[in-house]
Amino acid sequence: MFTNYFQMLSETLTSIFNQLPAKSVHAHCDGPCGVYDPASARVAAEAVLSMTKKLIALAPAGNDQASISAYNNTFSRFVAIKEEESQKAKKELLILWTDYFKPEHLATYPDLHDTFWKAAKLCSACKVNIDQTKAEELLAAVQKIHSMFWSSKGRSDNWITAS
């Protein structure tokens, strides 16, 4: 009984405290926390798609040792770039998702979390596989995020790709 009484008292007091008019005390940065632009993710996603296409098209020039070595070298380099750019795309997307977008954006973009989650998953898929469909899906996901981002700023920047 006393526990209930104290709990009620505590809740009442909490309510009173939280209705008190209060001046603000700042616990934030005075400068902008960051400059955000989905362009970084777009460039990385484009590189992933480009490397994927190159890998699919790549074949050794011949059966001699020099041709096989050249093929292995180029293949490895393309894979390394694809890996690196996929990771970069994921990082850029996660920055937008977690730092730029705020809970209030969910009201305007209810599928925001789902879009970012799927885009991040596509980055992983592109890293692990040589899959042109996944790479194209990633670029499409980045385009969707581009639209969300700029419309959240009240702008409608065109989607322009480098390739």
Partner 1 sequence: MITGLQQADKSLFRKPDLFTLFTLIIGYRQHLRVVGTSMERTLKEGDLVTYKKLNKKNIDLEIGDIVVASHPKTKNKLIIKRIHWIYQNKYDLRGDNSLASTDSRVLGLIELDLIIGKVDKIFSK
Nearer to partner 1, 4 or 30 (CB): 30
Token pair listed for 118: 């799927």
Nearer to partner 1, 34 or 62 (CB): 34
Restricting to residues 63-122, name those near partner 1 by CB under 8 A.
Answer: none
Hey, is 111 helix, strand or coil? coil
Token pair listed for 94: 């996660």
CB of 117 to partner 1, least distance (A): 23
* Residue 33 near partner 1 by CB under 8 A: yes
Selected from 10, 69, 108, 129, the binder of partner 1 by CB under 8 A is 10
Selected from 2, 5, 16, 98, the binder of partner 1 by CB under 8 A is 16
Q: Which one of the spans 24-32, 45-53, 63-71, 107-115 is the region binding partner 1 (CB under 8 A)? A: 24-32
Handedness of CA 130, 134, 140, 143 (dihedral sign): negative
* CB contact at 8 A, 90 and 25: no
What's the CA dihedral at 136, 109, 149, 48 to 10 degrees?
-20
* Residue 23 near partner 1 by CB under 8 A: yes
* CB contact at 8 A, 46 and 139: yes
What is the 8-class DSSP label of residue 163? -
CB of 11 to partner 1, least distance (A): 9
Question: For the chain, how many residues are written?
Answer: 163
* Residue 25 near partner 1 by CB under 8 A: yes
CA 105 to chain CA centroid, Å, is 16
Contact footprint for partner 1 (CB under 8 A): 9-10, 13-14, 16-18, 20, 22-31, 33
